[in-house]
Structure formats: structure tokens, C-alpha cells
Structure 1
Amino acid sequence: MKGKQSHPRLRTSWENKSYDNQIISSSEMDSLVSICEAIFPPVDLHHDDHDQSFINNSIKSFFQSSASNNPIPNEVAGVMKDKGMAEAVILARVILWLLSTRLGTLLLCGSLCFGKEWPFITKFSHLPTHKRENILQNWSTHTFLSPLRLIFFLLKSLCLYFCFSLVDDNAHNVAWEAIDYKPETTTTNNTAVNKDRPLEKGIVETLYETPSSLIRSLTNKSLSVEEDPTHNLYKIKCDVVIVGSGCGGGVAAAILAEAGQKVVVLEKGNYYTADDYSSLEGPSLEELMHQGGMIPTTDGSVMILAGSTVGGGTAVNWSVALNTPDPVLEEWGREYGLGLFRSARYRLAMEFVARRLGVTTGCVKEGFQNQVLRKGCENLGLDVELVPRNSSMAHYCGSCYYGCRSTDKQGTDVTWLVDAVNSGAVIITGCKAQKLLLTENSCRRSKRCVGVVARSINGNICKNLQIEAKVTISSCGSLMTPLLLMSSGLRNKQIGKNLHVHPSQMVWGYFPPEGANIELDGKSYEGGLITSAHRVLQDREAGSMPRALIETPAIGPASWAALCPWESGRDIKRRLLRYSRTANLFVMVRDKGSGKVMSEKRISYSLTNEDRENMTTGLRRALRILIAAGADEIGTYRNDGQRLKCKGKSEEEIEEFIGSVCATNGPMSARLWAVYCTAHQMGSCKMGRTENEGVVDENGESWEADGLFVCDGSVLPSAVGVNPMITIQSTAYCIAKKLAECMKKGQYEN
């Protein structure tokens, strides 16, 4: 893989990743292997399996491939053990064990396990593939047993994900040629990019340190370090410690460092630059996303993506740089009593943030999916807007969500954090905050925060890092900030509540590469990620927020396979053959519903009826856009494979199909279900006028502890309704500017 040997690099092969699968017994593993084979079995190639005029050897091999082959079942078992909720793991184990017995198979599979010879009941792994397929089909839509639906979704998703994400030592997956997927993995020719690590002079990467070298590296960065063997600590002193380097943390670090404060940034992820990124889906998600991008809510209804690397979400997001909508600013100011959002100061912050991120509006060339969105809207006479991005107008990278290999996307890792390091800030990577240091306080609040204790993910560094500071800022995002506050003993009743996620569902349209669709050039994974958008407007008063926002998703073949409806082994293979010419549109709503963060693996969430109505309206509009763009076939991601071949259909037939489409619940709630996805988390430590209304005040300071600030998306009082990068950074800018003024006056001296 590219990158310098002395620095962290993204893996191209997962052979060096191992799981301890002792939690799965041999009999349970037999059942798991049999399920994987039924989900993705070897099948004979029929003449109608491929709609092109040729069948090559790669397609023949693709149809003969099976998910029962190692390492796929082992990877599925490993992820369940290491990343799954305890209840889900127990449930999966019970089901796998039952399937390893005849009686259990009868209980879970019914008459499909009957045989003609004694003892007349066949255990699951001995059933022919077609019967196992039928059983999984029954599980997917089981009317009464929601746990079977949930386990089906879990195993199906993991199995198909690993089928298309695992790569060999040559960074290749044998299925990619058949599905016409060619990730850009070659080394860039830009030598300036190759040699540049813009944060080098301020980075201390604990993953690659020893106990002795760590002290030396920290002192070389002008930090005061004292070893405390009695308490097993390295004590580090600074003015400001910031936990997290993403949207909020990067901005705060730059402003406070430029104001003359000695700033230390803690980041649990590692530092990667353009030359380290591989554009490979599996390894990239594993390294750059929290829990490898596999964060389901407790009921499996929502899959959450959150960045976990230097730069946080800005290193892996989709570049959209939309300002906070005026109706939202008015609502936050009027209804929530937060004057900041109605102030000229906030609008000036948005302007400054946009300049620093190099935001442009326009696009030299659009990718395939955005061409589809634009063409469909124009043919329907609908407004379609060019999306502002924190990149140049010529930026055509289709894999920026695996890290931008061109350095064109202006995340905090190449903007605000560079400013911070140039002003003397130090970034300590591979280090996870454990708890805040709180003391009793006789001033405004009952407690005072004097720093944070963190632990390196490097097992060779046994001592914790105790960073003592005048001011502590939690910027670790809406999933982790509430957990840090709760683990430190803070008790504000709003901590962890009010989680908003901008729930999204997708629809798809297939556009064959020949015929009338030839003008829509390119492939689904190529081009700028989001360059066009359509707002589904309200029927009510002018100036209100739209009911939904329709954009295009960045989605690799493994993630797509995991989300695709599964009807049979043959069907999923036929779907994947169309991957490169299947355009996806996602519908995002500004949710009134909310969730709660309880632990890293326990996040609850539910939508309101209004959310579902808005989602339904958006899904139906998106399908009409696909039809207007010339799709041969359209469909949703509902588990029963809801779809329609458009050619030859009357207007009445099309309207009947679209009328049948509606927003569904997740697998635990309904027989017909679809999963929501989200990459936006907001509100779990919201601002409020009082401690009863929020976790922090309008300045971002905790109502419970002096010197403790929150500076990330968790402070937003409700959902933004658009991609929130500019909103989070503008809010962080205002908080950090005010804090810098207060520190200059000596307000937070120890």
C-alpha cells in the first residue's frame, strides 16, 4: 500500500485482521456457513441473467461463487462478536445453535425441513440450498417473529458486505470485474501530494510510540510532561484540551491556538493523508469510520455512519457545504430562545467558514447519478440546484468518502487543523478520552473541569494520559460526547437525549449503458458525490422548510449489496451485475422524531408520523425523477424487492406503483420493512436557555461544570434539515471566538 512505512497506512488486505471466534461453536459455525451459502449460493447461469450481448468468464465465475467460502463466514462471526450488541449476539447464537439440531430446525423452519427418510426431520445445514433459500425468504417477511427478521437482516447484510469488500494482497476482489467496478487505487502523480503531511510538525501518533519515545515526542512539541508512576499517569499541561478533531474540534483548535493558547487535540482515530488513502471500501471504512461504519440502532431500523480519524467526519463526508436555512435560524432563535442563531455574528461566521473551506458553487462535469437527478428534474419541470462544495468546481472524485486522494476536498485535516498546528497546537492521535477531570467548585457552577484522562489504543503504552487544562472542550460528536459526559459523572437530564439523524431512505433506477440512456455517461461510483439536489417543497406558506431533500449517495458495492433487498441468491447476483449503471437517489428529512445515546452499542431512535409522511412524499418524488430521466426499471429498498419495469407501462400502472410506495419501519416493526441510513448526528447535548432545557448554554459551556465546553453537532437544538457541516463549523466558530475573548481576559485561569 502507499504511504510511508513509519506512519499509519490504510490496509489493502484484511489478512492481518483477526477475530477471536471462540464465541461461535463449531456447530453454530456450521449453521452460519449454511446460511451464508443460501444467501449467496453458486447458481447456474441462465440466458436471462445478464442483459448484455456477451457473457465473459468473470460473470460465469461470479455466478459460481459462494459466500460459504472462507473467510466470509469467519468475518461475519467476528463482527457479530466484536461489534454487535450483547442481546443481538445472544439471539444470533441461539438461532444458530437451534439450526444445528433437528428439533430446533423444525421449530424455526417448519415443514421445509421434512424429509422422506428416518428421522424425517433434516437439520438446516443438511437441507438443499433451495430449501434454505425458502426458509430465509420466510424469515425476511415473517409475520409474527420479529427477532427472525432482525437476525435475517443482520446475517444477510454482513454476508453480502464481506462478499464485495474483502480483497486479496493485490487489492482486488474477484467479483469486481463481473459487476464492472474498478476503484481508483493507483498512486497519484502529484508529487507534492505524495510527500506532504501537513500536520507533521504538530502530530504525536501514539499507535507508533513506545513509553520512552512518547515522552520525548510530547516534550519535543513544547508540552510539559511529568511521569506519575504512583497513579500510572503521564501528566501533560496545556491551556486548552480538545477531544475530537472533526467539524467542531478543528475549528475550535485553530481559533484558540491563533489566539495564543497552548492547545492539545485528542483524536482516537489515526492520521492519514492523501497518499495513504486506498479507495478500497472495506479497509477504508474499517479504519476511517467509528466501529467500521457498522452502527445500528437497538432495533436495527437505522444504520449510522460516523467518522473516526483526524478530521473526523470532514475527512470522509460528501463535501456538501449548505448554509443553515433561514427558517431554522429563526426557529432556533425564536422558539428555543437562542439569540446566537439570529445574530449578525452567526451569519458572519458562516461567511468566514465558507471562505476558509474554499466553498464553490458549480460543477465542471457531473457524475452519472447526478446527471440522472438533474435530467429527471428538468424533464419534470422541477427546480434542481447546484450544490455548494468545499472543493473546486472541477473536483470529480467518486471515492472522497474513503478519504480524498487529491487533497481537493477541504476537510479540517487540511484547513483548520493546519492553522492550529501552525500556531503551535499539538494533535495526539490513537488516544481515546476516558473521563473528564472534575473538581468541586464554589463559583457559578457546582463543578469545575480541569482536564481529561485518555488512554492510547497502543497496548504497549500502559500509562494513561492526564491532560490538565484551563479549558476542556468535548468535540467528539453526537454519539461520543454524551458518553464522555455521562462517564464523568455529569447528570444533566438532557445528556444523550434529543438525538437527530436526518433519516434517509433510497430508491433506485436501472439505466442500461446502451440505447436511449447512452447520453447519461459514466458509472454509479464515478464523479463528484453530490453536485445536484432537489428540495421537495411544502404545500404550506412560502419560506418554510422543504418536506424532504433529494440527493445522490456515495455507495460502494459492498455497502450497496448489504442494503439491497434479498429475494434469492440468483436475484442478488443479477442485481449486483447492474451495480455500475444503477442510479440511487436518497431522500433525507428534517426529523421531528429523535433518539437517545445510551452507550457505544446502544442507540435508540424513532420517527414521528410526520417524518414518515415527508419521507413517503420524497420517495414518490424521487421515483418520478428516475422515470423522467429514462430508467428502464425502478424500485425501493423494501425487503420484498418492490420494483417496476417501466417500459410499456401505462401512466395508470406507473401511478399505481408509485402510490404503493411509502416509508416503512425497520425489521423489528413490520413484515415489510426497509432500513434507514444516516451520516448526520445532531442534538444529543443541545444548547438551552436553562439547564432544564439543555446541556450547555448559548456559549457552549456546560450548565454543570465551569471550564467545560461542547463544540460539535451535539449542541444543535434540533435537526438542521440540510447537510450540517457549515452549521456545525459556524456554531463552533462562534463558541470558540467568545471563549478566546474570555480567556484573554483571564476568566479561566487555574
Structure 2
Amino acid sequence: MAAELDLSLLTAPRPAGLSLAPTSDGFSERQWKILMAFMNTVIPAIQYQELLTEPAGFSVVSLSKDEYSRTVSQLAVTASPDASSEVFEAYLAERPADSEAFAEVLRSVLFQVPQAKRKQLQLLLSILSTCAGSLILTGYKSPITRLPAADRIKILHRWRTSSLWTVRSLFKTMTTLGKLVFMRTSTTFDLLTGFPSVPPSWKATPSYPYEFLQFQPPTSPSREGGAVEIETDVVIVGSGCGAGVCAWRLANSAGPSVRVLVLEKGHHFDASCFPMSQKYALSNLYEAGGVIESDDGSMTVTAGSCFGGGGTVNWSAGLQTQDFVRREWAKERNLPFFESPEFQASLDMVCESMGVLADNLKPNHGNRTLLDGAAKLGYQGKIVPQNCGNTEHHDGHCTLGCWRGEKKGPVNGWFPEAAKNGVKFAEGMAVDRVLFEQVSGKKVAKGVTGVWTAKGSGEKIRVVVKAKKVIVSGGSLWSPIVLMNSGLKNPHIGKSLYLHPTNFVAAVFDEEVKPWEGGSLTSVVGSLENLDGKGHGVKLEAMSMMPSFCMPFLPWASGPEYKLLASKYRHMNVFIAICRDRDTGHVYRDPEAGVPRIAYSPSDFDRAHNLAGMVSLAKILRAQGAREIHPCVPGFPPFIRSSTNRAHSDTDAGDTDKAATATSTAHETADDDTESDEAAFAAWLRAFEEFGNKPPVTPFASAHQMGSCRMSALERDGVVDPRGRVWGTQGLYVADASVFPSASGVNPMVTVMAVADWIAQGVCEDLAADAAVGPSSRL
């Protein structure tokens, strides 16, 4: 526990027993060789002939000495001043084949892919390992392991431009895997760019000394087949933003005799463990290692899965629900509460309790670029308040865990007071389902059951928690799964899933920007939030610049070109166009693993809004002097200012021979305000709008999942009633983003907390009503 630590002895975050997911992925040696051949194509070694340690053309891109020297010179322009020529050479030579860590993390990532999708990949790799299969899928008789680098690049680009969705998705799968795992395991990237994996000002900060229930195997069998049985009054499933406020409200308003237990399937990490390393953070803090894909591969979904949930890993944005969204929910969805003083009171209480701060924030380079560029173009930009306890919270590493303890989410904000008032906690407790009894013909929640996994030993024990009230707050992915597992047949469970689909634009600046410094998200541009006149459109924001978050979305034209682009990280910012989606998908239960599966593809309607946002971002970035503008859309060239007014890199992504060498991306500086440059930029924008952002090749991502247990005024229209009670049951509530009637349109943390506060107030009232009529009616 935190109270037992001598924090003064720590000079860097504690490992705290960090581990990756299991790595028994079931890939055969032959399948693995094919996969690693693709990884070595996505991230190849680059050497010149005199330094070659093996035959060129396979996992090594060979350059002449002059070409190699020019490439090193390009690295030097944007590298850390402390990077030596030895670091340049090591970075260029680094490749997956030589890295045990790369293989370890890759196996861990693949293990967390649903088994059905993993089997599809294994089958594909087996086919590619044969001459006949290779000919069908690549156009080459020889398997990829026998092909030179230039031919491998051609194969990937043929997949990218295929008429078949599934083939195009192969391009995205292979390139994304290579980029993601490289950024999590590279031994040279930090040295090259100067990125500090541990903030220079780091010091150990104490966390609240939580105590978590421990379980022992039962000495006698129970009705649940040998499970441990415990009792409480209210059990909360999940520990994210909704759960945090529910626990706090119950602890403060339900009365001292009401026992509350919070169950979290992930684990708690003390602040002295933060920020976690790039290698381990995704496995320990995020659902499925942070790389959940929709069934068709078009969307990558990121969700917190640790004590505190999304409140532990989000970017601190404290935005209240907008009036036009509240009006839609109140009028069109017939839920007048959302325009009531009571809802506003909950919003204000949440912000006041967390010390949500907007005044005196100092945006970093990326956020200032967005605000200043928007002002030049007449867009409306504003500072994004932070839930940071009235501090400025300049911590760009916070999505890897808040080492300062300033982010007042569940762990640092709501749970400490709840714990002091008697709320209990259990980590490692994966709830399967809600338990019901039939009482007078009604389905009455009586508790939950699940499997508890001991931290460290991994011992698993089934636990039954008997309770009078059950609040499911597992987020929009898991809450519907718990309800489905519980035998509820409401057809709306899992439906109406909103994801705020997001596209990306990267920019490289002449000046050094050190993008990891300062708060991640402290500005927003809202001028495009109502493109259809009905509240659907995009917001423009800066994104977290942790390498494993932003760099995998950069476009890939060839391995060498990607390495050169990534090397500019010290001079780079990445921005997002985040769409309030009109059209929805759904969540369902994987029939084998039981985990959430996502069926969602960005619609043409919503993608058009994303594209408009990307175009506006490009305009803002040019107005702010960006030297290079890279829409994260594979196959479309960047805009690069130059004395010859070139509208893109000399390297054509379709010219794989040039892409293999990636030595022709250098450009000259010049007067950027010439008429010809304006014309070139206008032509480039027109070409970009025509090229578009079609999935599955274009990366779409989601950090906001909403609506899968929708609130409704009538039982026929949703999953929960206006007080969060699950239709057709008693004593069962849902309190998280899954109850949203539609997409919130802003980062949903504050909205989740305010809705949870309202629902928890109702739980307190229901408990009081049960007590008032006597024990005979208490359930």
C-alpha cells in the first residue's frame, strides 16, 4: 500500500509487478515467420552497403553511402541536440527481427485479439506461407520471406488499393501493428528525439492508501458451486467516472448504515508507478491492451481498464454538456431532466468538486497552435477546463497515469472521501452477471457474481456478492455485456453505440516544440460542431503526444519513409477532428471469449464531417507556419512548403522503388507567403477532399464510447428509465456513458459524472423508501 512506501527513496516510477498480457498466442513457427517478415517491412533496418551485416533486400534496406549520408543529415535536422551519429545509425538499423521486446509485445497484443479474428489472421499467414497462396494474395509465387524489401512494399500498397475491403484491411493491420509495437519497444527512439520516458520533474507522490478486499477459497460449498459469498447493501460494478460519483454520493447521502462495495476487474496502481512505460501501460491500464478493433477493422477503440477506469487515463478535459445536446435529449428524447436545474446542479457540483480550472491555463505548443490558427481564420476556439484540483496540471504524460495526483478523477477525487466514509473496494473482480430472484412475478436484482483474480499469484476464486441494489457502471463496452449475461432480453441492450469517430492530422514545424510538455488537451475549436443544422459535426482538438498514442496513426508509405517521419517527433504536433456521430453501431458478446465485440463502421454522413475537420486543421496548421502537413490517410501525400512550391513530398507513395530508399523527402526553405504557394496549397486541399478518408485504410479511432444502454422515457425505446433503473427489473441501475440518449459531442467525463450523480441520488431515495416501508419489502 502507498502508506508503506518510503517515497523519498524513489527516483523513477516503480515497476509494481507490471506485466504484459499472456503471450501463448497459438501462432505456428511458419505463421510467425511470415508475420515478422511484414513487421520487418513496416519497420526495416536501413544501412549502406559497407555496413551490411547480411544480404540486402529482405529485412535491410540498402543505400549507397551518399544516400545514407543524406538520410542521416535529414535525421540531424529535427533530432535531439544530444543525439550522436551513433544514435542515428542505431535508429536506422533498428528492426523487429533483432528485438526480443518487439516479439514479446507483439505476441501480447495478438493474444488480446478476439479468438475468431486471431484465427483469421493465422489462416491468412498460413496461406501466405505457400507458393499458391502467395500467388493469389500477393501476385508473387514466392512467399514474402523470400522477397526483397521493394517487392514487399509493393504488396502492401496493392493491398491498400485493393477493391476488396478485407484485403485493404490487411494493409492497415500489418502497418498499424508494426508502428504500434515499434513505438512501445524501440531502444533508440527516445535517444534520437529526446523524449523523456520519465518527466524531468518527476518525484514520487503519495496516493490515498486504499485497502482492497482479499478472498480465500470457501471451506464449504455454496449454491453458486463453491463460491465465496459476501453481503453488502449496494454493489457497484466498475470503478470509472460514473462509479466514482455513485460511490461518493451514496457514502455522503445514503446514511452511515448503508454498506457500499465497488468491484473493478482491473487493478490499482499507486501514483508512484506513474507514468507507466510505453511498453507496459497499454497492457495494464487499457481494455484489451488499448487496441480493440471493430469487426470490420475500420475503428480502433481505446477504453480504460484499471482502478479508476477512463478517469485514470483520460486527458483531463472538463467540458459540460452543451445546450444543444441537452435540448435534444430533453425535447427529442422526451427526457426533460436534461434541461432541468437539477441536472445543471449536478454538472456544477461535479466541476466544483474536481476543481475544474479554465482560467490561467497555459496551452503548450500544439494547443496554442490550434487557438492562434483558429483566430486567424475566424474560427471559434476556447480553453478546455481541466479536472485538476485548481492546478495548471502541465503533465503531457498523464494518459500513462497521473504521477502528480492532480487529476481529480475517481482515484484522486471521488473515492478517497467515499473510502473514509466506509465504502469498500475489490480489484481484480470481473463480474459475470447480475443475480435475480422472482418476487411477486418481478425480476429483482439480488447481487452479482464473478471471478476474482489475486494480484500477483493469479489465483482465481468465484465470488458471489449479495446486495439490495446493483449499479452497473462498467462503461459502454462492458455494461451491456453484463446485462446480456444476466439473461435480460431487452432488444436495445448493446444497440445505439456512439463512438465519436476521430481522424488525425500531423504537422512538423521548423521550431522545436517538445510535444510531450504541457497539458495534453487544453484547447478546442467548435466552429464546425453543427454542420448539418441538427448538432452533428466535428470539434478540433490537440491529442496526447505520447509516442505510443500518436505515432501509430502517422501514414505509412514505406518503412524508411515512416522512420524519417517519426524522427521528426521533437518538432511535431498531432491534431484530431472528433465527430459527434449521428449514425450508430452496436456491442455484442463474443461467443467464445465472452468479451465485448464492436460492430461499427463510420458512415458516409459522419465521415464527411471528419473530412471537413481535417481540411480545417490543415488550414489552421498552414496559417501557423507548419513546414509539413500530414493528413493521416495512407496513400495521400503531405503538403510540404518549399522553394519550388511542391505540394507534396518528392516521394510518391505509389512509387515503391523511391519509397524504399526514402532519401528524396528533403526540401528547401523559402518564402511561404507567395502566390504560387497559396495556389499549391489550394490545389492540394482540393485533391485531399477528392481523395477522402475512406475506411478501413484511413485510421479512425474512438476514446469515447456511449449509448449502448440508452436512457429512454418509455420501455420500448431503451434500456434504462430516466432514473437509470433497468426496464423490466427492480433494484438494478446503470450509471455510465452507456445511458446517454445519443453522443455527447464533447469529452464525456463531466456528463457521465453528472448523470451518475442524478442516478445515485435516485438510488439513495429508493433505499430510503425501502427502509420506510419495513423489512418485509426490502430486497
> What TM-score, normalized to structure 1?
0.88
Corresponding residue for residue 62 of structure 2:
none
2:208 equivalent to 1:244: no
Could you tell me how far apart the structure 1 residues matched to 2:17 and 2:132 are?
A: 41
Question: Compared with structure 1, are the counterparts of its residues 76 and 134 closer, same or farther at alpha carbon in structure 2 (3 Å cutoff)?
Answer: farther
**Which residue does the alignment assign to 2:42?**
39
1:518 maps to what in 2?
A: none
Give the secondary-structure state (helix, strand or coil) at the position aligned to 1:436. strand
1:256 aligns with 2:246: no
Q: Measure how far apart 1:211 and its partner are.
A: 4.3
Q: Which amino acid aligns with 2:443?
A: K
| C-alpha distance in 2 between matches for 1:294 and 1:504 | 15
Q: 1:674 to 1:178 in 2, by over 3 A?
A: same
Per the alignment, residue 663 of structure 2 pairs with none
Correspondence list, 1:23-422, <5 A: 23-44=26-47, 45-48=68-71, 50=74, 52=76, 56-71=85-100, 74-75=103-104, 78-79=107-108, 81-110=110-139, 113=140, 121-141=141-161, 143-166=162-185, 173-184=187-198, 188-189=202-203, 193=205, 196-200=206-210, 202-204=211-213, 206=214, 211=217, 228=222, 231-258=225-252, 259-260=254-255, 261-391=258-388, 392-422=390-420
User: Is the contact made by 2:629 and 2:638 (CA closer than 8 Å) also made in structure 1?
Assistant: yes
How far has the Cα of 1:327 moved from its partner? 0.9
Q: What does residue 487 of structure 1 align with? A: 485
Matches of 1:61 and 1:741 in 2, distance apart?
64
Deviation at 1:88, TM superposition (A): 2.8
**Structure 1: which amino acid aligns with 2:411?**
D
| C-alpha separation in 1, matches of 2:262 and 2:353 | 20
Deviation for aligned residue 1:655:
1.5
Deviation at 1:140, TM superposition (A): 2.2
Is the aligned partner of 1:602 residue 2:622?
Answer: no
Percent identity between matched residues is: 28
Partners in 1 of 2:529 and 2:293 — Cα distance?
31
Taking the aligned partners of 1:335 and 1:15, their CA distance within structure 2 comes to 47
Verify: 1:636 aligned to 2:627, yes or no.
Answer: no
Distance of 1:665 and 1:108 partners within structure 2 = 22
Match of 2:527 in 1: 536
Whole-Å separation in 1 of the counterparts to 2:321 and 2:114: 35
Q: Which amino acid aligns with 2:448?
A: V
Deviates more, 1:461-470 or 1:313-322: 461-470
Q: 1:732 aligns with which of 756, 766, 771?
A: 756
Q: Give the conservation status (yes or no) of the 8 Å contact 2:516–2:546.
A: yes
Q: Is the 8 A contact 1:596 1:605 kept in 2?
A: yes
Match of 2:672 in 1: none
CA distance in 2, matches of 1:394, 1:412: 19
Contact conserved, 1:243 with 1:267, CA < 8 A, in 2?
A: yes
1:448 maps onto 2:444 in alignment: yes
In 1, the alpha carbon distance for the partners of 2:14 and 2:477 equals: 24
For residues 306 and 365 of structure 1, what CA distance do their matches in structure 2 show?
28
Aligned 8 A contact 1:102 1:123 in 2: yes
Residue 84 of structure 1 and its aligned partner are, at CA, apart by 1.8
Cα 1:729/1:92, change in 2 over 3 Å = same
The residue type paired with residue 627 of structure 1 is R
Cross-structure match for 2:555: 565
* Paired residue type of 1:255: R
Distance 2:92 2:298 in 1: 31
Q: Secondary structure at the match of 1:588?
A: strand
Q: Given residue 638 of structure 2, which amino acid in structure 1 is its aligned partner?
A: R
Does the C-alpha gap of structure 1 residues 13 and 621 become closer, same or farther in structure 2, counting only changes over 3 Å?
farther
Matched positions, count? 697
Residues 390-438 of structure 1, C-alpha deviation per residue, up to 9 Å, x if partnerless?
0134211001111111011111111111121111010101110011101
**Offset from partner CA, 1:585-638 (integer Å, 9 cap, x none):** 101111001110012352011333331222222111111000011001112111
TM-score, scaled to structure 2: 0.85
Q: How many angstroms apart in 1 are the aligned matches of 2:157 and 2:197? A: 32
Give the whole-Å Cα distance in 1 for the aligned partners of 2:239 and 2:477. Answer: 14
Change in CA separation of 1:694 and 1:148 when aligned onto 2, cut-off 3 Å: same
Q: Which moved more, 1:700-709 or 1:553-562?
A: 553-562
Distance 1:523 1:3, change over 3 A: farther
Distance (whole Å) between structure 1 residues aligned to residue 480 and residue 530 of structure 2: 37
CA contact (8 A) 2:356 2:387 kept: yes
Q: Could you tell me how far 1:678 is from its partner in structure 2?
A: 1.1
SS at match of 1:463: strand
Change (3 A) 1:249 1:539: closer
CA RMSD in angstroms, aligned pairs only: 2.6
Q: What residue in structure 1 maps to residue 472 of structure 2? A: 474
Q: What residue ranges of structure 1 are gaps of 5+ in the alignment?
A: 114-120, 168-172, 216-225, 514-520, 668-672
State the Cα deviation string for residues 536-555 of structure 1 (Å, max 9, x = none): 2468899x747311111103
Matched with 1:220 is: none
Q: Quote the Cα distance in structure 1 between the aligned partners of 2:237 and 2:476.
A: 13
User: How far is the alpha carbon of 1:334 from its aligned partner?
Assistant: 0.7
The CA distance in 2 between the partners of 1:652 and 1:552, in whole Å, is 27
Give the deviation of 1:236 after TM superposition. Answer: 0.8
Residue of structure 1 equivalent to 2:516: 525
How much has 1:375 moved relative to structure 2? Answer: 2.4
Q: Deviations over 1:440-465 (max 9, x none)?
A: 1326xx31110000211237644311
What is the distance in 1 between the residues matched to 2:356 and 2:450? 35
Q: Deviations over 1:269-326 (max 9, x none)?
A: 1112211213422311111111111111001111111111111101110111111101
> Residue in 1 aligned with 2:664?
none
